[in-house]
Amino acid sequence: MDFPMFHLDWLNDRFLIAVIAIVHVFINHGLAVGFIPYIAWLEQKGVRMAGAADITDPEWDHLIYRKMKVAFIITTTLGAMTGVGIWFSAGLISPSSIGSLIRVFYFAWFVEWLTFVTEVVLIMIYFLTWKQSNHSLKAKIRHIRFGWFLSIFSWITMCIIVSILGFMMDPGNWNNDHSLISGFTNPIYLPQLFFRTPTAMVLGGVFGMLLTTLFASRNSKWRETALKDGARWMLCWAPVSLAAAIIYYKAMPEAMRENLSTAVGTMEFAQYYDLLRYIIPGAVSLVVVLGVWTWLRPRSVRMWMVLVPCIAAFGFLGIFERVREFIRKPYVIGGYMYSNLLRKEDYPLYKRNGLLTYATYATAGKVTPENKLSTGQDVFMLSCSRCHTTNGINSIVYVFERLYGVGKPLDENSVAAYIPNMHQGRTYMPPFPGNTEELHALAAYIKHLQVTGESLEGAQSAGVMVNPDNNMHNTQPLADTAQSK
């Protein structure tokens, strides 16, 4: 409504956020939260294994150092930038919701930022002073301690962000209590944190094993020991991760139910949710099989044998994130703002006077027979484009063809009859926000899209049209509409 609409008409806008966020979560869990303690533990082990005259075993220490180097390089480049990327992409695609969230959570995010700065400083100290610390036992022990500090800070960073995530999904809190405390007391908070912690450890361990197979050649002295340690680490955390996954799995529908106006989960949610029933035992047992196998026959382990469970374990986390995202619908901020970025409380006004009347960017403020297609496009941009494309991924034409038959010409009247009631059956959909004329303009535009296969350019390339009926030169549009009522 009030922001130029960035729109990726083939890829789908949410896809951009999703890709950036998932890469970030993978790196955060697999290479920081779960990986650093694994590295600190192995570094410590090197000191313990060394002869009385040595500080650490140099060969072992170098192997662990090289693993840490990979994590250091990836976390401080792709990891850090995808973290910023979440802000950037959310600001582009979902400006009203992220703008609202920042106003409420500024302090929480500021605290998060402080721990994050600490984390970055610690990771630089930990990695960049590694080799220097090998000169004396005292320095080495202090160095290992930094590894543990870093592990703790990575975990705290995760604790805070999980609370913010939990808050965004909790419908009641936004309207009653704008504080971070309610994020921590959110019913899904502990299950989520309990799930993320051991799962990150498993990811860190399996990724570490993968690096062992790459960095320690088959005749190297420490390959078997390092692989067996990886197996121990994984076998220790995998059962916890399994138990936590089951608890989280059970907590999800509850969170979902609270969010929806109706008392049901949707079938789309159920599809993802059912998938979890296979993915949880599947991924965990792959990891356990690898662990046991490595424990018994470390010599026979090859890189590909680790790669498969490694990918499965990351997929495991990925699908959980997808289901979690689904829980939010039809809201982007529970009970306050729908996923089309319109506030629930403004709906009566839009319904009564029209959505375009109050749009900052639109080709016109009122639908007329002449401008039906262009205003229909405006309505689409304002109320559908955050999740739907015209002819790309999750396109509006496709979702209607799925109802009325693929390839069959859409009937404008049926589409117009369906839209105002869609949120009753499809409870993940927000209600349609506009008035009757806008509804028909939208239906005409959808029909037009099916016939022409036309695409829709976002503000990033097409620019914006300032609503001729709502801008600086007609300063009274709001007062006018109030009178016309």
Partner 1 sequence: MNHMLTLLQSVTPVPRDIPLPLPLPEWLLVVLLVISFLAHILFVNLMLGGSLLTLWAQVKGLKDKAYDTLAYEIAKTITVNKSLAVVLGVAPLLSINVLYTVYFYSANALTGLMWISIIPLVTAAFLLTYLHKYAWHKLEEHKGLHIAILGLAVLIFLFIPLIFLTNINLMLFPEKWGTVKGFVSALALPNVFPRYLHFLCASLAITGLFLFWYFGRRRYAFETRFETISLYHIRKRMYSLTLGASLFQFVLGPLVLITLPSKGIQWNLIVVILSGAAAALPAMYWMWQGISGKPEDIGKNFGKVITAMSLTVLLMASGRHVYRSNALAPHKKLMAEKTKAFEKLSAEARAQPAPEENATAAAKDIPHAAGKAVFQTNCASCHKKDGRLVGPPVTEMVSIYHNDLPGLEAWIRKPGKKREDYPQMPGFPQLSGQEMTALTGYILSVK
Among positions 74-133, residues that touch partner 1 (CB under 8 A) are 76-78, 80-85, 87-89, 91-92, 95-96, 98-100, 102-104, 106-107, 109-110, 113, 116-117, 120, 124, 128
- Locate the DSSP E strands across 194-297: none
182 binding partner 1? (CB under 8 A): no
Nearer to partner 1, 113 or 278 (CB): 113
254 lies in the binding site for partner 1 (CB under 8 A): no
CB of 345 to partner 1, least distance (A): 6
Buried b / exposed e along 67-94 (16+ C-beta atoms within 10 A): bbebbbebbeebbbebbebbeebbebbb
And the tokens for 462?
A: 């097409």
Q: Is 331 exposed, middle or buried (0-12, 13-18, 19+ CB in 10 A)?
A: buried
The answer to whether 286 and 308 have CB atoms below 8 angstroms apart is yes
Q: State the nearest-atom distance from the C-beta of 295 to partner 1, in Å.
A: 34
SS3 label, residue 389: strand
Residue closer to partner 1 by CB (options 89, 390) is 89
Query: Segment contacting partner 1 (CB under 8 A): 31-39, 139-147, 292-300, 462-470?
Result: 462-470
Q: Least distance in Å: CB of 360 to partner 1?
A: 4
> Any contact of residue 10 with partner 1 (CB under 8 A)?
no
Q: How far is the CB of 2 from partner 1 (least distance, A)?
A: 4
Residue 346's CB is within 10 A of a number of other CB atoms, namely 15
The verdict on 214 binding partner 1 (CB under 8 A) reads no
Nearest to partner 1 of 78, 247 (CB atom):
78
Nearer to partner 1, 219 or 461 (CB): 461
Question: Nearer Cβ to partner 1, position 44 or 163?
Answer: 163
Q: How far apart are CA 185 and CA 98, in angstroms?
A: 22
Q: Does 422 bind partner 1 (CB under 8 A)?
A: yes
For residue 253, state whether it binds partner 1 (rule: CB under 8 A): no
Question: How many amino acids of this chain bind partner 1 (CB under 8 A)?
Answer: 90
Four-point Cα dihedral 195, 273, 231, 62, nearest 10: -70
**Interface with partner 1 includes 479 (CB under 8 A)?**
yes
**What's the first-to-final CA gap in the chain, in angstroms?**
21
335 near partner 1 (CB under 8 A): no
Classify burial at 335, counting beta carbons within 10 Å of its beta carbon; exposed 0-12, middle 13-18, buried 19 or more: middle
